[in-house]
Structure 1
């Protein structure tokens, strides 16, 4: 039979677990409610230099006490910069304090505010646009802020040519510097001769040739990747040229991987690109 001391001891242990579980439940509910006010579907986007990008930000568009979502105030800022990226209040843009870096390049979607869409369109992005952005919303349904870390890269699909049974891939813009790997339809790694021509901005043009002769009606895969972007291109040799298709995937991790580790991951069939 258990002693009184043992009963008290185990009673205290059980009580600690109950109280701890209750505290965790309250914190979980509070955190969930906070998260539901303002959120983003993509907090680590990768933009392509000179292209436009949308930084996703949404909020609860519920009406409260007669006030509508269109009465929301939306503030976009960027860490380390003075002024605002974009400021929306009283159903119109208020850009008197806008940082000059974003003048005529940043805008919201005013007609979508009513649906809880506070996303930012950033036009013609540059390397200087990379960094942490904050979307703050004050709406009838509540207040909240979400952080979005924009990474800027340069990437393009390669074009393929075949001359005298030599297959060549050329991609005009890549940043950071990429690695290139070729394989056949069975996944066997093939030898190649790859050159990178880098300009003063650090953007590279990729020129890569297979060392071995290619065969008619065979398919070859050209993998171009850095620690932000992975391009997978399938090239099929036809009687009239090369048929090529390309797909892109992006590293969604906030921690950037070393280039040698990214290459190792891409070559290992048991590992995944996303962390």
Structure 2
């Protein structure tokens, strides 16, 4: 009986300890959704830590190290108010940086410039500060995606996207969501990135809207195009598939990045 009491007591203490630990905010975490980089563009990998107080963490007392799983050397290291890049992996030379001015507020995020397909992988952010120390992992996925441009010739509507990776699927629908027949052509360059050209097989009608959807495992673009006698008016909206399989997508409007293209985040 005494042994049973000890076992039960131990289990209760363990459960309470796990519950208390799980309720604590980690010293280092990654805010927001996982990152999807667009080939050739910049991407930010989020890393935040708990400073002693609002803006109270002295930058010269904070050390930040970013590493990439499977690669030797560091992606970026900051210590004693300066970048320490003696052991930086050559792949990231002149492409990685943090923002020392944001360290007092607990922001140790990494900016990775001119993203390449081979940059995809698991990154680790380690922070040491007077208020504590800790590590968090951040997964970067890399795709190539670009908005569609439309051309209208004798009521034949063609859409073209210059850059997609991985190879996407293409579909069309009318203003009521009914599927339409279309041709699809893919041209890949030496880097394996695809140019997509697709044309509706039926003649379009003026003042109707036709939607072209291009999608792969990482990115989906939705491009409604309204056809008039004066031409085509269209915009492209992007969503990123950041959730594990079988998990629902949640779309949040972010901001227009350039004329005719809008980016949304799951």
Same fold (TM over 0.5): yes
Tell me the equivalent position of 2:233.
243
Q: Does 1:95 align with 2:74?
A: no
Tell me the equivalent position of 2:261.
none
Determine helix, strand or coil for the equivalent of 1:252.
Answer: coil
Tell me the equivalent position of 1:263.
none
Distance 2:184 2:32 in 1: 34
- Compute the RMSD of aligned alpha carbons: 2.5
Q: Does 1:71 align with 2:61?
A: yes
CA spacing shift, 1:71–1:206, aligned 2, 3 Å? same
How is 1:122-271 mapped onto 2 (pairs within 5 angstroms)? Answer: 122-253=112-243
Determine helix, strand or coil for the equivalent of 1:136.
Answer: strand
Distance 2:132 2:175 in 1: 54
CA contact (8 A) 1:62 1:69 kept: no
Deviation at 1:29, TM superposition (A): 2.4
CA spacing shift, 1:189–1:92, aligned 2, 3 Å? same
- The higher radius of gyration belongs to 1
Query: CA deviation digits over 1:140-192, x for unaligned, max 9?
Result: 22111111111111000010111111111000000000000101111111111
- Out of 28, 44, 47, the position equivalent to 1:57 is 47
Q: Which runs of structure 1 show a deviation greater than 3 angstroms over 4 or more consecutive aligned residues?
A: 18-25, 66-70, 271-275
Q: Which has the higher helix share?
A: 1
Gaps of 5+ in 2: 251-265
CA contact (8 A) 2:43 2:112 kept: yes
Distance 1:151 1:28 in 2: 32
CA spacing shift, 1:213–1:67, aligned 2, 3 Å? closer
Tell me the TM-score normalised to structure 2 length. 0.85
Distance 2:174 2:189 in 1: 31
Distance 1:24 1:188 in 2: 54
Deviation at 1:42, TM superposition (A): 4.0
Deviation at 1:51, TM superposition (A): 0.5
Deviation at 1:26, TM superposition (A): 2.2
- Out of 25, 29, 36, the position equivalent to 2:20 is 29
**219-228 or 22-31, which deviates more:** 22-31
